[in-house]
Structure 1
Amino acid sequence: MDHPGTFVLIMVVAVLAPILAHGVSRWLSVPLVIFEIVMGILIGPDVLGWAHTGDVIDVLSELGLAMLIFLAGYEIQFDQVKGDTLNRSVVAWLITLVLGLAAGILLAHGDGFEKGVYIGTALTSTALGTILPVLRDSGDLGSRFGTVMMAMGAVGEFGPIIAMALLLSGRAPAGSAAVLIAFGVLTAAAVFWALRPKPPWFSKVIVTTLHSSAQFAVRLVFLLLVAMLALAEVLGLDVLLGAFAAGLITRLVLNGAAPESSEVVLSKVEAIGFGFLVPLFFVVTGIEFDLDALLAGGGTLLLLPVFLALFLVVRGLPMWLLAPRDLGRRDRSALVLFGSTALPLVVAITTLGVEAGKVEPGEAAALVGAGMLSVLVFPLLGMRLRARPGAPRQRGSRAADEAESW
């Protein structure tokens, strides 16, 4: 049973984290998620021992992860992520998958193919849900660089989920492919419905309830999310696949039915996600971080810098080689750094690996620790490369444009 004090501590951390991030920002721009995870470690059982998770908090944390992936899926703009950029992104990730599986199997030291798959798949992810707020706040999201990063990151989010469904489902490859095809068909049907013109009353209900207690659009968004999560669960797929698909479908529904209200609806959903569920997920990640296993001795701690370097090689090298030719050297380097940032799926994959008995807790802690360092270091370096002296400020993000208006 959850201790009520733990819930209070989690929310205290969630409130303190933005304050600390704001205070430090005058010297160093540290991603908010770092404060959430580090303070979660501090209050967790391996340091101060104040916070211990239970069933309710774990469920809310899983919802937070689903919301993070959902919002990442929502951010994908189909009119920009297409053509040659998308093709390059897919090929880059396929090369990443081959490199990741090879590295994972080598690091498994003969402990089994499945262990290598867990480690290798974790190395192929991109923390798009963590990167997008950084790009949005800096005004880079609407730029050419932001478009390429969105394409590379979208494949880096979606690809590992598909790989997990194919390689870690426990089914035969043919069975896994059949289930994925079934999910794809049902998702395509949902997309077809989303693209169809909606009756006038549908748009009217969205507009008239936008600022009332009914909140039809917000309720519809969460219905779509829960429905896609349930569909993935019924088919035996990872629920993150359902969350990502729900984000894609929601954008199509809102932009088609009530384009003038879609930004307001999104801001309400983001308030629930980034205001409550997502920070709860990251704080709980810190609380459950196995610091003792990481520091237990042996070569476990040495795995952390190894994994951090592998993020750059496995994920970053193919992106450097296949980045669109119109990106300069500095932008390519920044793309590698942003694209090699990984955490949410690393947490999800290593958690599954530990639960299945295929990944040791220390190895999982080293992978998650490397993911945390990537979130702290890589975006900072990437933003420094993007901040050319005298370069005009990029437009295209709501946050940046609002800041300018002040």
Structure 2
Amino acid sequence: MSQSGTLILIMTIAVLAPLLAYGAGRWLPVPLVIFEILLGIAVGPDALGWARPGEVVDALSQLGLSMLIFLAGYEIEFDKIRGDTLKRSVRAWLISLAVGLALACALSGWSYTKGVYIGTALTSTALGTVLPVLRDAGDLHSRFGSVLLAIGAVGEFGPIIAMALLLSGRSPAQSAAVLGVFAVITAGAVCWAMRPRPPWFARIIAKTLHSSGQFAVRLVVLLLALMLGASQALGVDVLLGAFAAGMIVRLVLHGAAPDSAHEVVAKVEAMGFGFLVPIFFVVTGIEFDLKALLDGGRALVLLPVFLALFLLVRGVPVYALAPRDLGVRDRRALTLFASTALPLVVAITTIGVADGVLPTDEAAALVGAAMVSVLVFPLIGLKLRAADGEPALPQGPRQGAETW
């Protein structure tokens, strides 16, 4: 199939996936990303063989990955996750990283590079996936929700930092120095973002918001491009640049134009979740090594192993260091929510396969385990909360299912 035909097929899947998610939501809250990946697998070379990515589709997919991480950075509200809860979240993640790297290196035959890819993927938390589930259950603004927000934020930010530090190909000292330079650049951008803006800045945002000018949207894209450019120039993973751009944009919009911020972000989300991000997830499905799983070899054995490792590596430290004001059932539910992973797992395995370090069968097993975690862990977590007298399971179709 030609590149234009493949792109048309991908966008057809992007339209079909929300309809399937809406229909399934009447009985079971299935994240939209699951349908995008599964339909991508169905049309890929290991199934129907209708789609094969090329240069154009691959370029759009990489833009989708950058937009995905950018929106993840924008989602995190650091002002709401301070104090003891944040400290516990950071300590739990650092333990997860140490355990994850050790187990992943052992599982990889003591291959350091492959171990880093797998180990960092095991420490991630799909914050953008679990937040809509909590929102629908009326639990997002509870004490449990605030703790999960802190844990999820660290579970998104931490793996990106670890990837930039451990996979740069430099010595630890050089990597730290380069990250320090990037941190200085980011801090400078943050200081600029927090400076008071003249009144005309907010006025031009509001005035062009519904015109062809779209000043705010263009500014957001420029900031994203600048941070991606800075990360590439320094040899830092572009995921870090995209994530930092998301945080900077939040500061700029909420500081300079708080009345227009939500509408501006809605437009950026429409561009991301309406076009670029679905391409990334569908292409992930198309490139998924389904044959390796169906052959019943190592990949099929690794899938349940990775699923168990998500709980062991990410969940157990969270359970051990959860705030003591949470009950046993809440801590168990927190363990399950924290162990839910997918978007960053897909991003990390995509980079690992592209670099020729991670075999496609192992990447397929890791992504498959992450997909199972998204389908199973949040539902069990909600049932634990409901059994403890907390908000019940959400009814009807999920709202906000477009998030990751």
- After TM superposition, the score normalised by the length of structure 2 is 0.93
| Kept in 1: contact 2:73–2:244 (CA 8 A) | yes
The residue that corresponds to 2:247 in the other structure is 248
Task: Tell me the equivalent position of 1:121.
Answer: 120
Check conservation: 1:138, 1:400, Cα contact below 8 A.
no
Which amino acid is 1:368 matched to? V
| C-alpha distance in 1 between matches for 2:122 and 2:30 | 23
Distance of aligned partners of 1:355 and 1:20 in 2 relative to their CA distance in 1, 3 Å threshold: closer
Count of aligned residue pairs for this structure pair: 396
Name the counterpart of 2:14: 14
Farther off after superposition, 228-237 or 175-184: 228-237
Equivalence for 1:404: none
- Give the residue type in structure 1 aligned to 2:191: F
Q: Is the 8 A contact 1:101 1:116 kept in 2?
A: yes
Match for residue 32 of structure 2? 32
Seen in structure 2, the aligned counterparts of structure 1 residues 29 and 189 have a Cα distance that, compared at 3 Å, is same
Contact 2:151 2:338 in 1 (8 A): yes
Equivalent residue for 2:229? 230
CA apart distance, 1:154 = 1.3
Offset of residue 6 of structure 1: 1.1
Q: Distance in 2 between matches of 1:270 and 1:70?
A: 10
RMSD, matched Cα = 2.1
Post-superposition shift, 1:392? 5.7
Residue identity in the other structure for 1:4: S
Q: CA deviation at 1:312?
A: 0.6
Report the Cα distance in structure 2 between the residues aligned to 1:388 and 1:265, rounded to whole angstroms: 40
In the other structure, the counterpart of 1:219 is 218
> Structure 1 unaligned runs (5+)?
402-406
| Contact in 2 for aligned 1:72/1:132 (Cα 8 Å) | no
- Change in 2 beyond 3 A, CA 1:303/1:265: same
CA distance in 1, matches of 2:64, 2:134: 21
Aligned-residue offset at 1:124 = 1.1
| Cα distance, 1:283 vs structure 2 | 1.1
Distance change (3 Å), C-alpha of 1:141 and 1:267: farther
Measured in 1, the distance between the counterparts of 2:313 and 2:2 equals: 39
Quick check: 1:174 aligned with 2:173?
A: yes
> Counterparts of 1:392 and 1:129 in 2: how far apart (Å)?
20
State the 1:282 CA deviation.
1.2
User: Aligned partners of 2:343, 2:159: CA distance in 1, in Å?
Assistant: 11
Distance 1:45 1:4 in 2: 17
Distance 2:282 2:386 in 1: 30
Residue 153 of structure 1 deviates from its aligned partner by: 1.1
Judge conservation of contact 1:2–1:56 (CA < 8 Å) in 2.
Answer: no
Query: Which consecutive unaligned segments of at least 5 residues does structure 2 have?
Result: none
Percent pairwise identity: 69
Amino acid at match of 1:180: L
Shift of 1:315: 0.4
1:338 corresponding residue in structure 2: 337
Residues 65/143 of structure 1: CA separation in 2 closer, same or farther (3 Å cut): farther
In the other structure, the counterpart of 1:151 is 150
Identify which range, 375-384 or 38-47, moves more after superposition: 375-384
- TM-score scaled by length of structure 1: 0.92
Task: Give the aligned partner of residue 298 of structure 1.
Answer: 297
How far did 1:303 drift? 0.4
> What is the CA–CA distance in structure 2 between the aligned matches of 1:224 and 1:245, rounded to whole Å?
10
Distance 1:113 1:380 in 2: 35
Mapped to 2, the partners of 1:281 and 1:387 lie a distance apart of 35
Counterpart check, 1:271 vs 2:274: no
Distance 2:288 2:144 in 1: 34
State the match for 2:82 in structure 1.
82
- Is residue 132–residue 399 contact of structure 2 (8 Å, CA) maintained in 1? no
Compute the displacement of 1:136 (Å): 3.8
Cα pair 2:124 2:155 within 8 Å, conserved: yes
CA gap 1:276/1:380 in 2 versus in 1, 3 angstroms = farther
**Alpha-carbon distance between aligned partners in 1 of 2:361 and 2:61, rounded to the nearest angstrom:** 22
Contact 2:383 2:392 in 1 (8 A): no
Q: Alignment partner of 1:79: what SS?
A: helix
Contact 2:3–2:56 (CA under 8 A) maintained in structure 1: no
241-250 or 270-279: bigger deviation? 270-279
In 2: Cα distance, 1:244 partner to 1:130 partner:
17
Counterpart in 1 of 2:319?
A: 320
Residue 373 of structure 1 corresponds to which residue in structure 2? 372
Q: Any conservation in 2 of the 1:124–1:160 contact (CA below 8 Å)?
A: yes
Q: Is residue 2–residue 55 contact of structure 1 (8 Å, CA) maintained in 2?
A: no
What is the CA-CA distance between 1:358 and the residue it aligns to?
Answer: 2.7
Match of 2:349 in 1: 350
TM-aligned CA deviation for residue 393 of structure 1: 8.2
Instruction: Give, in whole Å, the separation in 2 of the partners of 1:324 and 1:210.
Output: 43
| Helix, strand or coil at the partner of 1:260 | helix
The 2-side partners of 1:25 and 1:389 are apart by: 24
Residue identity matched to 1:160: P
Shift in Å, 1:313: 0.5
Deviations 1:35-93, CA, capped at 9 Å, x for gaps: 11111100111100111111111111122122221111111112211111111111000
Q: CA deviation at 1:221?
A: 1.2
How far does residue 400 in structure 1 lie from its aligned partner after superposition? Answer: 7.2
Counterpart Cα distance in 1 of 2:129 and 2:236: 23
Quick one: which amino acid aligns to residue 238 of structure 1?
A: D
Q: CA deviation at 1:289?
A: 0.4
Distance 1:277 1:133 in 2: 20
Deviation at 1:298, TM superposition (A): 3.0
One-letter code aligned to 1:41: I
Could you say which residue in structure 1 is the equivalent of 2:286?
Answer: 287
Contact 1:320–1:332 (Cα < 8 Å) also in 2 = yes
> What do residues 173-230 of structure 1 show as CA deviations (whole Å, max 9, x unaligned)?
1110000000000100010011110011111111111111111111111111111111
Please give the alpha-carbon distance, in whole angstroms, between the structure 2 residues aligned to 1:383 and 1:282. 26
CA 277–382 in structure 1, closer or farther in 2 if over 3 Å, else same: farther
CA contact (8 A) 2:382 2:392 kept: no
C-alpha change, 1:136 and 1:218, in structure 2 (3 Å) is farther
Q: Distance in 2 between matches of 1:70 and 1:310?
A: 27
Conserved in 2, the CA contact under 8 Å of 1:64 and 1:279?
yes
Q: Partner of 1:153: helix, strand, or coil?
A: helix
